[in-house]
């Protein structure tokens, strides 16, 4: 399977609450009216400018060994190195909301509308994560029985960011407009790439006690694993 998937903006549009939560605003703190109004404008701009698209491609575990190894800079041990050999299916993927949102953010900052620029950036970040999540959900039907997909990306969980080079060579997301700089930076910035691993819920579990976990700025692995376990409750025994 190798497929380009266009996903409607509304399916990855975050809510105002999700956007604020991702920015560290506690759920019990209602935004002030000026912030709420600016956030509504940011959500409207996202709806107008985002062009969500994804590419997904099967990869055999034997082939993925070389993709994962990359340039030999991964942390050892790492969760993905333990999990992907047990996978029932591996899907490389890349998603982007396109470049127009990023251009608009730059223009807003240049014009002194940094409140709107910042919130549009926040909406776009949540929207891009939402797009990756939606792709993962859409692919659920492709997971072998008793397994669920969970995604991993270069730059996280011990998979060195230089792994992007092998991943790009294998996946070729240039087809949907994502390019890779020498520094392994993806353009458009609001893009996510990686691999979706279909495995049993218990195989997805890992302790966040790896050396790199202490420096992790994301720290959302617990929620991600919990979500997988909810999808496969029968596997929890």
Partner 1 sequence: MELLNQIATSLQEGDEVRVAELTRQAVATKIPAKQTLDDGLIAGMNVVGRLFRDHEIFLPDVLLAARAMYAGLDVLRPLLASEKVPTQGKVVIGTIQGDLHDIGKNLVGIMLRGAGFDVIDLGNDVAPEKFVETATRENAQVIGMSALLTTTMTGMQRVVELLDAKGQRGRIKTIIGGAPVTAEYAREIGADGFGFDAASAVERVKELAAQ
Q: Which is nearer to partner 1, 11 or 115 (CB)?
A: 115
Which residues, other chains included, contact 152 with Cβ-Cβ below 8 Å and sequence gap of 6+?
Answer: 79, 80, 159, 194, 195, 197
Which tokens in the block code for residue 68?
């994962």
Decide if residue 17 touches partner 1 (CB under 8 A): no
Give the C-alpha separation, 187 to 83, whole Å: 29
Give the C-alpha separation, 186 to 102, whole Å: 12
* DSSP 8-state class, residue 158: T
Which residues, other chains included, contact 18 with Cβ-Cβ below 8 Å and sequence gap of 6+?
Answer: 126, 130
Work out how close the CB of 129 gets to partner 1 at its nearest, in angstroms, rounded to a whole number. Answer: 15
Decide if residue 215 touches partner 1 (CB under 8 A): yes
Residue 147: which of 197, 101, 111 has the closest Cα? 197
Binding characters for partner 1, 42-81, by CB under 8 A (x = yes): ----------------------------------------
Residues 151-210 that bind partner 1 (CB under 8 A): 155, 160-162, 181-185, 187, 189
Q: Which is nearer to partner 1, 114 or 220 (CB)?
A: 114
Give the C-alpha separation, 166 to 69, whole Å: 9
Decide if residue 32 touches partner 1 (CB under 8 A): yes
Residues 97-116 that bind partner 1 (CB under 8 A): 105-106, 109, 112-115
Work out how close the CB of 39 gets to partner 1 at its nearest, in angstroms, rounded to a whole number. Answer: 7
Contacts to partner 1 by CB under 8 A:
20, 23-25, 29, 31-32, 34-35, 38-39, 105-106, 109, 112-115, 117-119, 121, 155, 160-162, 181-185, 187, 189, 215, 217
């Amino acid at each position: 399977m190798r497929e380009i998937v266009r996903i409607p903006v509304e399916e990855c549009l975050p809510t105002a609450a999700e956007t604020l939560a991702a920015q560290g605003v506690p759920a019990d703190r209602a935004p002030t009216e000026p912030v709420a109004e600016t956030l509504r404008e940011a959500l409207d701009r996202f709806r107008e400018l985002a062009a969500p698209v994804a590419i997904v491609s099967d990869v055999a575990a034997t082939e993925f060994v070389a993709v994962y190894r990359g340039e030999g800079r991964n942390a050892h041990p790492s969760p993905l190195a333990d999990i992907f050999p047990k996978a029932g299916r591996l899907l490389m993927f890349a998603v982007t909301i396109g470049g127009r949102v990023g251009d608009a953010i730059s223009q807003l900052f240049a014009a002194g509308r940094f409140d709107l620029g910042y919130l549009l950036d926040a909406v776009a970040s949540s929207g891009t994560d939402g797009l990756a999540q939606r792709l993962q959900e859409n692919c659920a039907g492709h997971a072998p029985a008793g397994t669920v997909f969970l995604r991993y990306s270069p730059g996280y969980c011990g998979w060195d960011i230089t792994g992007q080079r092998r991943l790009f060579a294998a996946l070729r997301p240039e087809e949907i407009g994502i390019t890779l700089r020498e520094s392994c930076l993806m353009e458009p910035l609001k893009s996510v790439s990686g691999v979706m691993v279909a495995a049993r819920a218990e195989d997805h579990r890992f302790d966040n006690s790896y050396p790199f976990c202490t420096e992790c700025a994301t720290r959302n692995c617990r929620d991600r694993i919990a979500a997988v376990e909810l999808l496969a409750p029968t596997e929890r025994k």
